[in-house]
Amino acid sequence: MSYQVLARKWRPRSFHELVGQEHVVRALTNALDRQRLHHAFLFTGTRGVGKTTIARIFAKSLNCETGITSAPCGVCGACQEIDAGRFMDLIEVDAASRTKVEDTRDLLENVQYAPSRGRFKVYLIDEVHMLSTHSFNALLKTLEEPPPHVKFLLATTDPQKLPVTILSRCLQFSLKRLPVALIAGQLARVLDAEDIAYEAAALRLLARAGDGSMRDALSLLDQAIAFGGGQIEAAAVGAMLGSIERRRVIGLLEALAAADVPALLAQVAALDGQAPDYAAVLAELLILLQRVALAQMAPATVADEAEFDPDELRRLATLLPAEDVQLFYQIALLGRRDLPLAPEPRGGFEMVLLRMLCFRPDSGDERKQSAPAPVPVTAPRPVAVAAPPATRPVAAPRSAPPVAMDATPETVWHVLVAQLALPGIAGQVAKNCALLARDGGHFELALEPGHKQMLTDSVRERLRSALEQHLGTPVQIKFQVGSAVLTPARQEAQQQALQQQAAAERAAADPHVREMQDVFDARIVSVQPLDDGER
């Protein structure tokens, strides 16, 4: 007996064998069980997600000899003939090869005649969007008022090309791209049934290469079985697909985190020896950056990580600030789009990596070099002292004046935050905290509830490290979430509101402004206060 490819051998023959597309299966089974059957159905979706498979199962459900049912028996003559592709009342048409209006008219000439064998005459038109305009016009009237014994099942990968008059006469079902985990699980079940050894990592590579299509993944699985000599191993599958080792991508990210350009270029040179697809390398880097961002913002989610070592992700999450991860991801995403425009793939790839370093915010080492001298701050006593204005954060001078010995906790923390000048998320967290108590290097801070989600382990470590570098002593920070009395952010907002109000009052009282209002019937739309240096 000739060999049958896996995509055909494991094609579902009933609704319960389908993988995914539960929303479509539920609607069709309910319609069949309640005998509420429309005369035209349109199935849309990318290739290999089950459009024609669902249509054939639906045709079996309509013509099964046991009656109209959502669970066809699969053993009667009608079910077996439909599975074999020789049922007379199931007319399958490939619209891509029959686009002429004459073909459509010939097809519709027999619509009026009753089915010869089954209960319904079913027309399955695949890639229906390929029909010509005249063919759609010929189909339109029949599709609108077909005989009661006729059902139309249309399938297409591009529903945007269908005339709205056709769309309005069909029940539309959009089939989804299948997720990687679902495809990998089905591949594992197929290999278990075929008694073929496999590695889970290899199945994930095949599932991702399938790009949402079960049929494509099964075809790649056939190729992998032949390539591996009857075994499915991750190394062999990676070589077959041209994938690169994950260790290489991690090495690139480590070099980016260290801002080590020679090491980064050495990694690229090592990659180039494998003649990789640099767009695929950027895709792998994007996947890794996304996992690192999850490890930073939601650490609990990496515990069940299947593709990367959770400990490795946690280590990378501590090497990179969260804002750097987001910046690298965006640059890699845009670079992958523009890579085909580069005159040479490797050069374009190197430019994407160098762009990440060029646009990266100042690192902690640079801040350390330009940081002001530590400010001696003692335990505060509640004595009223005017808070410094904070309309715009300005880097403190080399010899910053010490905070008053009797300053309030709000003033102490405000001055420290202004002198640290932390960028990104860490700076926002610091500005939205208030100092509750301090004992030497022990800080107790109250964080505004609205910024709780920003307080990740990476942000805690950045704030603690910045304070240690600034004060020159070991620092420990304890956070509690609660409405702070007066944070630096609130002080800045209050100061800006006062300046805005004063500027508005000055503008309203200005004689020139009043003259323009009187002469031209003008009105003040907005007022922007000026800094002292701009006046």
Place of tokens 């069909």: 170
All structural domains of the chain, each given as residue ranges with its CATH number in brackets, are 6-174 (3.40.50.300), 180-241 (1.10.8.60), 246-358 (1.20.272.10), 368-490 (3.30.300.150)
How far, in Å, CA of 264 to CA of 252, rounded?
6
Q: Which amino acid is at 347?
A: G
- Total length of the chain: 535
Angstrom distance (rounded) from CA 215 to CA 513: 73
As a whole number of angstroms, the distance between CA 56 and CA 64 comes to 12
Per DSSP, what are the bridge partners of residue 447?
433, 481
The 10 Å Cβ neighbour count of residue 430 is 25
| 447 contacts 433 by C-beta, under 8 angstroms | yes
Cα distance between residue 173 and residue 25, in whole Å: 10
**pLDDT reported for residue 395:** 39
Task: Give the phi and the psi of residue 520 in degrees, each rounded to 5.
Answer: -105, 5
| CA angle centred on 401, ends 399 and 405, rounded to 5° | 140
Q: What is the pLDDT of residue 193?
A: 92
What DSSP state is assigned to residue 457?
H
Residue 343 corresponds to which tokens in the numbers above?
């005159």
Find where tokens 């399958």 sit.
Answer: 92
CB atoms within 10 A of CB 154: 29
Backbone angles phi, psi at 396, to 5 degrees: -70, 150
The two beta strands, 433-439 and 442-447, are antiparallel
Tell me the three state secondary structure of residue 523. coil
CA dihedral 124, 130, 134, 139 (to 10 degrees): 20
Looking up tokens 């995914």, which residue turns up?
20
Q: What is the pLDDT of residue 341?
A: 92
Type of residue found at 459: V
Q: Can you tell me whether residue 372 is helix, strand or coil?
A: coil
Say which amino acid occupies 48: G
- CA pair distance 323, 198, nearest whole angstrom: 39
Query: In whole angstroms, what separates CA 74 from the centre of its chain?
Result: 40
pLDDT at 366: 44
Residues 217, 230: Cα–Cα separation, whole Å = 17
Question: Under a CB-based contact definition with an 8 Å cutoff, are residues 425 and 282 in contact?
Answer: no
**DSSP readout, 164-211?**
HHHHTTSEEEEPPPPPHHHHHHHHHHHHHHHT--B-HHHHHHHHHHTT
Could you give the angle at which helices 261-272 and 246-258 cross, rounded to 10 degrees? 160
Please give the Cα distance from 367 to 507 (Å, whole number). 40
Please say whether the beta carbons of 71 and 237 come within 8 A. Answer: no
Whole-number Å distance between alpha carbons of 457 and 300: 12
Bridge partners for 438 per DSSP? 443
The pLDDT averaged over each successive group of 10 residues in the chain (535 residues) is 83 90 93 92 92 93 92 91 91 83 82 88 92 86 88 93 92 92 93 91 89 92 91 87 82 91 91 84 92 88 75 88 92 93 93 92 49 43 39 40 60 86 85 86 86 83 88 88 78 84 85 82 76 54
Q: pTM of whole model > 0.85?
A: no
pLDDT at 137: 86
